[in-house]
Structure 1
Amino acid sequence: MTQTGIGVGVARTEVEVTVGAPRERVWRALVEETGRWWPREFYVGREPKGFIIEARPGGRVYEDWGNEAGALWYTVLVVEPPGVLELAGHLTPAFGGPATTTARLTLKDEGERTVVRVEDAIFGRVDEHTVPRLREGWRALLGSGGLKSYVETPP
Structure 2
Amino acid sequence: MTQTGSGGVGVARVEVEVTVGAPRERVWRALVEEASQWWPKDFYVGRAPKGFVIEARPGGRVYEDWGNEAGALWYTVLVVEPLEVLELAGHLTPGFGGPATTTVRLTLRDEGGKTVVKVEDAVFGRVDEHTVPRLREGWRTLMGSGGLKAWVEANLSTPA
**Pairwise same-fold verdict (TM > 0.5):** yes
Q: What's the counterpart of residue 41 of structure 2?
A: 40
Matched, 1:17 2:18: yes
* Stretches of structure 1 lacking an aligned partner (at least 5 in a row): none
Q: TM-score, normalised by structure 2?
A: 0.94
Q: Which amino acid aligns with 2:134?
A: R
Deviation sequence 1:106-131 (CA, Å, 0-9, x none): 00000110000000000000000000
Q: What is the CA deviation profile of residues 37-78 of structure 1, one whole-angstrom value per residue up to 9, with x for unaligned ones?
A: 100000000000000000000000000000000000000000
Percent pairwise identity? 82
Matched with 2:114 is: 113
Question: What's the RMSD between the two structures over aligned residues?
Answer: 1.1
For residues 70 and 145 of structure 1, what CA distance do their matches in structure 2 show? 23
Superposed CA offset, 1:4-62 (max 9, x none): xx210000000000000000000000000000010000000000000000000000000
Distance 1:84 1:65 in 2: 27
Instruction: String of CA shifts for 1:64-95, please: whole Å, max 9, x gaps.
Output: 00000000000000000001000000000000
Question: Matched residues in 2 for 1:2 and 1:66: separation?
Answer: 39
- Paired position in structure 2 for 1:69: 70
Q: Equivalent residue for 1:92?
A: 93
Q: CA deviation at 1:2?
A: 3.7
Equivalent pairs, count: 153
2:136 alignment partner, SS class: helix
Q: TM-score, normalised by structure 1?
A: 0.97
Q: In structure 2, what is the equivalent of residue 128 of structure 1?
A: 129
Name the SS of the counterpart of 2:142 in structure 1: helix
Which runs of structure 1 show a deviation greater than 2 angstroms over 4 or more consecutive aligned residues?
A: none
